[in-house]
Amino acid sequence: VGSSVSRVEHLVFDLGVRDGSPRLITCVKTSQGFDWNQDIFLPSSSDITIHNGIQKPETVHEIILTDEESDSVFPSW
């Protein structure tokens, strides 16, 4: 299996806080050339308060794991 087939990316857009805890707005999983479950986590209402003052998305920080680190985090089948 080539790396282009097995590569999976997740994008999470968290635009606000409700009741003091972060609220997941949408999650997009991209793999095998398709976007999966784009709207499955959309809330039914839009009562979201933006706390960054300028209403732009927060900076995304990438977390990159080595194969050894990911093996220790995820169970092997």
- pLDDT tens for each residue of the chain, 77 residues long: 455 555 666 666 655 666 666 665 555 666 666 655 545 544 444 455 555 555 666 677 787 888 888 888 777 66
Structural contact between residues 51 and 17, judged by C-beta atoms closer than 8 angstroms = yes
Region of 8 (left: φ > 0; alpha: ψ -120 to 50; beta: rest) is beta
Specify the pLDDT at position 42.
46
pTM: 0.24
Of 13, 40, 9, 33, the C-alpha closest to 24 is 13
Number of domains in the chain: 1
The pLDDT of residue 74 is 74
Which domain, by its residues, includes 27?
3-73
Q: List, in sequence order, every residue forming a beta bridge with 13; answer none if it has no partner.
A: 26
Which of 8, 55, 56, 45 has its CA nearest to residue 23? 45
